[in-house]
């Protein structure tokens, strides 16, 4: 045994996954494996620098992006691979199933940000390649995983934490609910009436939470939601694609702004989380964004590390 004590650690055998079309493509074991692998990847960039040598990702973006696009490109490059990028609607010039079968001839993985979740599902079906959801109208699973990494780093554990989500019951809220439910994090979601997460996602999350012992609850009062919260999370009130509703939403969502008063009603050591981009003066104040409680830039950094782990699990 002693002979091995100082030998370099071998790369951990990655747990293989076929796809990451949505949060539930990962089992709970795979969720824990991706969190562990993220830690390894973050600790040593050089150790994985040729893990995906000669592998190519197709990045398809129907919607704008800063973080997701850059971190996937950096992730592939830092792992020794590369990317090709296409921006614009997918499947309007030729059928989606043809696009998918073209990409299958050139690349190893598709990373797609689309309006419809069905586009991501069909890309997987027709390409036969692993497909990663880089945000759809329904889910943002890479974001939720980066957020789990961030919470684990800050608190040293996930089980037993409470996350309050205040604002719109959107794609980010959906993915967080599905992750928290399975990892034992209690999540209270406060939205205006009519803007709650989808009923089917709430039901799914509650069902999953029974196994982990977490509690998933939805409500309309942000003050109730933040009670005893270890972290308070918000996202834009108007997601990409909903721009025509922006004015109406701005009026309705006023009481859901995360400001210093709301934050002070959570635990004294509570963290502020945001997937970014943030609209200061709307869902969050400038003071909260500039406060030491804000960990949004750690979340953004962890997008890179967790996505490297996801790519390794898909491609190695």
CA distance 182 to 176: 10
Cβ-based nearer residue to ligand CP, 90 or 208 = 90
How many residues touch ligand CP under the rule CB under 6 A: the total is 9
Residue nearest to ligand NVA (CB): 239
CB of 78 vs ligand CP, minimal distance in Å: 18
CA distance 140 to 39: 21
38, 68, 107, 171: which one binds ligand CP (CB under 6 A) = 68
CB of 301 vs ligand NVA, minimal distance in Å: 15
CA distance 55 to 264: 48
In the set 113, 230, 249, 274, the catalytic residue is 113
Q: What are phi and psi of 168, to 5 degrees?
A: -90, 135
Exposure on the CB side of residue 94, measured as CA atoms within 13 A: 7
47 is catalytic: no
171: contact with ligand CP by CB under 6 A: no
107: contact with ligand CP by CB under 6 A: no
24, 206, 223, 240: which one binds ligand NVA (CB under 6 A) = 240
In the set 69, 274, 303, 305, the catalytic residue is 303
180 is catalytic: no
Taking CB within 5 to 8 Å according to partner kind, which of ligand NVA, ligand CP, none is near residue 66? ligand CP
Helix 171-183 with 141-155: angle, nearest 10 deg: 50
175: contact with ligand CP by CB under 6 A: no
Taking CB within 5 to 8 Å according to partner kind, which of ligand NVA, ligand CP, none is near residue 170? ligand NVA
CB of 204 vs ligand CP, minimal distance in Å: 22
65: contact with ligand CP by CB under 6 A: yes
282: contact with ligand NVA by CB under 6 A: no
In the set 174, 275, 305, 307, the catalytic residue is 275
113 is catalytic: yes
Taking CB within 5 to 8 Å according to partner kind, which of ligand NVA, ligand CP, none is near residue 160? none
Sheet holding 271-274, edge to edge: 216-219, 186-190, 162-166, 231-234, 271-274
40: contact with ligand NVA by CB under 6 A: no
Residue that is written with structure tokens 């880089």 in the block: 134
CA distance 76 to 85: 12
CA distance 86 to 129: 17
Map residues 139-158 to x or -, x wherever contact with ligand CP holds by CB under 6 A.
----x---------------
Strands 109-113 and 56-61: parallel
In the set 140, 230, 249, 305, the catalytic residue is 140
Contact 268, 290 (CB under 8 A): no
CB of 275 vs ligand NVA, minimal distance in Å: 5
- Tell me the catalytic residues: 113, 140, 143, 235, 275, 303
Point out which residues bind ligand CP (CB under 6 A): 65-68, 135, 143, 275-277
């Amino acid at each position: 045994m002693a002979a091995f004590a100082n030998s370099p650690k071998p790369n951990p055998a990655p747990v293989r996954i076929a796809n990451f079309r949505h949060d539930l493509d990962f089992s709970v074991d795979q969720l824990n494996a991706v969190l562990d692998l993220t830690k390894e990847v973050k600790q040593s960039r050089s150790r994985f620098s040729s893990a995906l040598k000669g592998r190519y990702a197709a990045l398809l973006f129907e919607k704008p992006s800063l973080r997701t696009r850059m971190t996937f490109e950096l992730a592939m490059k830092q792992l020794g691979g590369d990317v090709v990028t296409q921006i614009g609607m997918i499947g309007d010039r030729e059928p989606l199933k043809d696009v998918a079968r073209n990409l299958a001839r050139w690349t190893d993985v598709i990373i797609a940000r689309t309006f419809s979740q069905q586009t991501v599902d069909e890309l997987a079906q027709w390409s036969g390649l692993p497909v990663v959801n880089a945000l759809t109208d329904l889910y943002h699973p890479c974001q939720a995983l980066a957020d789990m990494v961030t919470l684990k780093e800050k608190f040293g554990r996930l089980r037993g934490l409470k996350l309050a989500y205040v604002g719109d019951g959107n794609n980010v809220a959906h993915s967080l609910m599905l992750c928290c439910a399975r990892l034992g994090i209690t999540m209270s979601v406060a939205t205006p009436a009519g803007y709650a997460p989808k009923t089917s996602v709430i039901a799914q999350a509650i069902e999953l939470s029974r196994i982990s012992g977490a509690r998933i609850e939805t409500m309309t009062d942000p003050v109730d939601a933040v009670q005893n919260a270890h972290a308070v999370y918000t996202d834009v009130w108007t997601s990409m694609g909903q721009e025509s509703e922006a004015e109406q939403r701005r009026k309705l969502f006023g009481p859901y702004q995360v400001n210093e008063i709301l934050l002070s009603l959570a635990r004294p050591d509570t963290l502020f989380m945001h997937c970014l981009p943030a609209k200061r003066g709307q869902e969050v104040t400038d003071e909260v964004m500039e406060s030491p409680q804000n960990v949004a830039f750690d979340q953004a950094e962890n997008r890179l590390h967790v996505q490297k782990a996801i790519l390794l699990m898909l491609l190695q």
